[in-house]
Amino acid sequence: MKQLFFLPVVSLFLFSCEKAVTFNLDEPAPKLVVEATIETNLPPLVVLTKSQNYFSKITPDILAAGFIRNAEVYVSNGALTHKLKEYAQPLPGGYTFYFYSIDSSNLSTAFVGQLNTQYALRITANGQEYTATTRIPAITRRIDTLFWRQVPGNDSNKVALMVRATDQPGYGDYIRYFTKRNSEPFLPSLNSVYDDHIIDGTTYEVEVERGVDRSQNLPDDHTFFNKGDTVTLKVCQIDKATYDFWRTMEYSYASIGNPFSSPTKVLSNISNGALGYFGGYAPIFRTIIIPR
């Protein structure tokens, strides 16, 4: 196992005393990583992979080899239980993306997501069983309007997207949002989940930061849009377990490389020590064309 060397902050002040500290870190066994979703009017979608060591070199070949194949995956809505089928999607470079969704040859037990419905997930992979539950909640957040404001500064082409929305009274509402700019896919922002502790029962205005691809280097103005853009906002009502997963995951993303940040445990709702989450989404959409 590789060794981690670090110099404590106190050594910045004790110049006369420097000592390298060596940690021998055990290499943990790979864990199952689950990314499972069900959205209103869409079938369940499940992607299974295995975790990588913290110091592993990430390459396309390693990622392609990380998919968990030939698992048994079941999703239930309380009335029907459907065994999902594994599908293969070719990708550029000769790679293949594997996922599980409804079996088109056995539609008698297939279903799509519905509001106010509880779902159960059961996975058998590598001789282990994993379970999770989620709920597609009712929609309690209303988007009243989208509008934009000029960004102060020298670049007259940049605008901030704004939303005016109304939250129904009653604590415990959670959302995750995405934006789609022109022909780009829907992408979440760096901070994409919010609760209603501050805005419960109110009508409020807030800036909508542009969704980002975390695999790319982000420019300083990545939160803004351009004049001439067509932007679609997707706001999804989610349950608390989905909120907690993305809240802790995004905090973990933000703290990577920060020596002063506190360690963060990403909260999973998958049983048996697996990583990831099973989340239900109830989306609403609004589109704006920003004039040039």
Give residue-wise pLDDT tens across range 227-250.
Answer: 999 999 999 999 999 999 999 999
Mean pLDDT of all residues in the chain? 89
pLDDT, tens digit, 9 for 90 and up, residues 51-104: 977 666 677 787 788 999 999 999 999 999 999 999 999 999 999 999 999 999
Task: Return the percentage of the chain with pLDDT > 70, whole number.
Answer: 86
From residue 153, how far is each of 8, 72, 156, 211, 235 by CA, in Å? 40, 55, 7, 22, 29
Which pLDDT belongs to residue 279?
98
Give the pLDDT band (50/70/90) at residue 4: very low
The answer, yes or no, to whether residue 165 has pLDDT greater than 60, is: yes
What predicted TM-score, i.e. pTM, was given to this entire model? 0.86
**Out of 122-136, 174-188, 249-263, least confident range:** 249-263
Q: What is the dihedral of CA 215, 216, 219, 223, to 10 degrees?
A: -50
Distance CA 195, CA 103 (A): 35
Every domain of the chain and the residues it spans: 27-136, 141-260+281-289
Which pLDDT belongs to residue 261?
62
CATH entry 2.60.40 includes domain 27-136: yes
The answer, yes or no, to whether residue 8 has pLDDT greater than 80, is: no
State mean pLDDT over 7-20. Answer: 44
State mean pLDDT over 105-132. Answer: 97
Q: Do domains 27-136 and 141-260+281-289 have the same CATH topology?
A: yes
User: Does 211 or 1 have the greater pLDDT score?
Assistant: 211
State mean pLDDT over 21-43. Answer: 84
Give the pLDDT band (50/70/90) at residue 16: very low
**Out of 117-126, 233-242, 259-268, least confident range:** 259-268
Identify the three-state secondary structure at position 254.
helix
Q: Evaluate whether 131 touches 122 at the Cβ level (below 8 Å).
A: yes
Q: Evaluate whether 239 touches 134 at the Cβ level (below 8 Å).
A: yes
Domain covering 141-260+281-289 in this structure, CATH number: 2.60.40
Which pLDDT belongs to residue 215?
82
The answer, yes or no, to whether residue 190 has pLDDT greater than 90, is: yes
Which pLDDT belongs to residue 216?
85
